[in-house]
Each structure stands twice: as C-alpha cells, then as structure tokens.
Amino acid sequence: MQKKFIYKSIKTQSPSLVRVMPDESGLQFVGFEACKIEKGETIIRQAKENEICAVILSGKVKINTKELNFDNIGNRLDIFEKIPPYSLYVTKDDFCEMEAITDVVEIAFCYSPSKGSYPTRVIAPTDVAVIERGKGNMKRYVHNILPEDKEADSLLVVEVFTPEGNWSSYPPHKHDALNLPEESLLEETYYHRMKPDKGFAFQRVYTDDLTIDEALAIKDGDVVVVPKGYHPVAASPGHDLYYLNVMAGPKRLWRFHNDEVLEWLFNK
C-alpha cells in the first residue's frame, strides 16, 4: 500500500520547502525536492548514484559543478511569467552548487538512479519545446524540459500551466505497466503552484479496480505522488495552476493508456 499521496510544503523551513525521496515515499525511481534561497545564500546537492535535473523555477544563480561554472543563469523572476526556464542536468557522482544572485531563488531538484551515461550540462530555454495541449476547458501549456529525445538515463521532466477553471492530465491516462510499445511504467510526482497562492486545486489518483482512489485537495507548494493509476488535475476558478512533473521508470519512454471510460473526450 502506498504510504502517502500528498506532501505539504513547509513555508517557514529553508532551504528545503518540500522533499519527497524514495526512503519515505515508497517510490523506486523518483525523488523530488523544492528549495528556496535568498540573495547570497548557497545550496549544494550531491548526485551520488543519481542524476539530477535542477530546474530554476524563479530567480538567477551562479552555478559550480566539478567541471562547469556559470555566473548568471536564470531568466524568470516568477514562475507565472510562463516562459521556459533554465535547468541544470547533473550526472552521477557530480554535484551542483548554486548561489542566489537575485533576492529570492526557487529551485526544484529532480532525482533518479543513473548509470552516468551523459555529462553535466545546462538546459537553456531555447532547448525547451513549448506545446499547447488539449482544447476547450482541457487546454494547457507545456514546457518539455527533459523529454525522452534529450540525453538522460532515467528522468523525464516537464512543466505545465493550466488556466483557471481548466482540467489537465485530462482525459485521464496512466503509465504503470511495462507493456511496450503500448504502455510504459513510469512513477511520477506533481509539484503544484498556483496564482493567487491562497487558492486550491484538486487531483484524483485512481486505478481501474479502485484499489487506489484518492481525491486530493491541493494547495500552493504541495507535491502529489503517483505510484500508479490515472491522475487528472482540476484548477479552481480564479486560480491559474502550475505543476512540475518528474517521471522515471525502468525504461525511459512515455507511453500511456487512456481511461477507456473517458477516452471519447478526445473526439469532443
């Protein structure tokens, strides 16, 4: 049985606001941490046996790794500027050190086990595909930060902006069976932010047999764990919703299966 489906942000704790790692979440392939640092503060994360995708959610930083140094990385001061971010891919056994050079910096660290096949590199906004997905009240906007056609051993990382009142990850789909080429097995976390930040959203995580059926009230900064099953999201009226998806599994492919009861909505 899954230990927990929602992890709450601790706004007063710095630098780590919320942390979801395999030793407590029950996931095997995905770890996640959201952090905040202020100007002049430094944060260091060691990859060890993992690869890391560090997404600079807002603000600008200096970066040091074993071989790379950058003085000014970052391009948005607010997530809801809705422009693609800078990110840093960190290979196994490397580290990343980030120093805030703006008043506040928010960083998401995405972790997954790695063989160390690819070198550490910056992922620039120009490397990020921008996609409009869905239509009507299922429309959302996607930034593909680390898709399967970009170099990584395990991680898939994407951010999604869902307009107020719309649904996302909808019609519902799942990717919890290693049945290629039809479906891949990928664990997933959702890191949610919203504007204004005092609102709420909903996310449901459920399986066909309803052995999992969780309806979750989401607040700004929460992380939802999706070990398996369908996982649609609804943004409440008056509140735009952002989420950062981290996926990983035994095969680095995103192949999904739609909820057959609701698949007709693709033709609506």
Measured CA to CA, the distance from residue 92 to residue 53 in angstroms comes to 11
Q: What angle do CA 231, 169, 191 make, to 5 degrees?
A: 70
Burial level of 219, CB count in 10 A (0-12/13-18/19+)?
middle
What pTM was computed for the model? 0.95
- Per-residue model confidence (pLDDT) at position 11: 64
Residue 70's pLDDT is 96
Task: Give the tokens for residue 27.
Answer: 């996931």
Would you state the structure tokens that stand for residue 139, as one six-digit string?
């429309």
* Location of structure tokens 């997530």: 79
CA-to-CA dists, residue 69 to 27, 63, 111, 158, 249, angstroms: 33, 6, 21, 25, 31
pLDDT at 9: 82
With CA atoms as reference, report the closest residue to 112 among 146, 84, 149, 160.
146
pLDDT score, position 13: 60
CB count, 10 Å around CB of 202? 14
The predicted pLDDT at position 266 comes to: 84
Mean pLDDT per block of 10 residues along the chain (268 residues) reads 78 79 91 96 97 98 97 96 98 98 97 97 98 95 97 98 97 96 97 96 97 96 96 97 98 96 86
Q: Using the 8-state DSSP alphabet, how is residue 84 labeled?
A: P
Predicted local distance difference test score (pLDDT) of residue 8: 87
The answer to whether 55 and 108 have CB atoms below 8 angstroms apart is yes
**Rounded Cα distance, 96 and 48, in Å:** 11
Homologous superfamily assigned to 6-267: Jelly Rolls (2.60.120.10)
**Residue ranges per structural domain of the chain:** 6-267
- Report pLDDT for 124: 98
Pull the structure tokens for residue 36.
């905040």
Spatial neighbors of 262 by CB under 8 A, at least 6 apart, are 170, 171, 172
Q: Is 230 helix (H, G, I), strand (E, B) or coil?
A: strand
